[in-house]
Structure 1
């Protein structure tokens, strides 16, 4: 159902999901034990070069010196001026590497000083997406999301979900398989070298309904009302205990006039929507004085008569008509 309140839903769900920071990137900074180069014998000496490798998140870059951050702290490494540097598989300059990139280093250690002769980096940036669940693929571990504010024909976007992703539904931790179609959610994650990975899925199965439009049809027996809103006809179930007012006066659903301008409130969920309140207004041109019983006492035309005046009974209608006081 496409209705205007979805921007509010997005903000509400995003408020649950975003706590002030993007999801932390899983990264470690580690350095392998130096290994003597070919031809070296015995222990390492001041003139012996040993190979080394390191990987982690680029935390700082200053000239030919960089720092990699990870779970075990920060590792500082000097880069050879002639080092081979790549970013997302393409040749790059060392100073063009973005902070936060995932970096793998290799090089040599001489006299306790490590110098990297190769730097391979992959760019990592956070992303956020808000939408409704279009489908879940458990085999590929992906989720398809239809943007909430897009058109009806919008194509869902599919995101791979990390195995350690945090997934919640209505505030409770759940498995990916528990997310129902049409649930509203916010997806947080990382994009590494153009590849998306969802790290957090925050979903809700119920949200506030707020719809405005014009009444085009109603079925009091079945408890439904149809409202034209922005060119679309939306049929909704009305709670039997719903509060309905027309021009400030309480009425039943059966007395809700066709053509009235209404604002509907209630709850929408993955299984449908239910209206809890209807506030209707009709223009003075359609309203008659509240003189009679039935629908006309609310200032609504359509009682026994066909127009304003002291006696609205159609020809042949006896004065004992129940829609008017006895005269």
Structure 2
């Protein structure tokens, strides 16, 4: 099955706007990205019973929410930590849904002043859930205000400056704060201690990811075979977000170059096109391993040097690639820097140096 795209015959109605070709291209691209986000949002489970994987977290969170509903009180504040893509935002939405309350969403980088946080907190309603993503990136002044808000449901608004400044206490309604972080170690202890329940999300097993993919395929109306979904699940790095993204890309390949069905052949060929290997490593992961082994002889190498060598930010390498590479036993973090393991050399099909020690 083949498909061609004739750009000259493809027209998009932009109303009465007089746009250049480049501007139209950006709008089309933006709409495509919006469609991708909408598709991802549609796959999110609405209730805790529909949430797949993380059985311990589900059981613990269920107890917290059921007890709060029985007391007719807002549940304790919840901290969700773990690598990106494991369902922290989804769980925040589920908490609001289970408590029949609305969800207010913001992020740590957006709260850079105490006044920003005061404005958000003062607009909350009784029982509302406030979700702060990347909570470890909040400004220190906002964090200190949050301590009092979480514990006493009160904020002190400073009016005026200098010796004449006055603190006006402002009572807040009972609310539940849900914080999400990929770097729980960066949270100050006073903030961590104010969360009544802390959940650590771990990578998913291939079996759980297969269940996620089967559910997603049904919801998207994708015709698939078990072998095809299994191939995707084993290359999804234990992450549902990646699994759903790869599912959509394999669907594209099956529709354009295959027979429209996601089978093992379609999954294998599509993932080869998108440079996802049999361990789930992508271009960045392999670049990290190749630089570590080829250029630095297996290490040890500092994170900053490694990031510059692959052309990425240190934070990207540390939070996106490194957790999975360490989990798969391909690299190791030592006091002197990152070191490639023998498994890394074997995966790259490279000869291990005779004097190499790990």
Same fold by TM-score greater than 0.5: no
**Structure with more contact order per residue of length (Cα contacts < 8 Å, sep ≥ 6):** 2
TM-score range, shorter chain: under 0.3
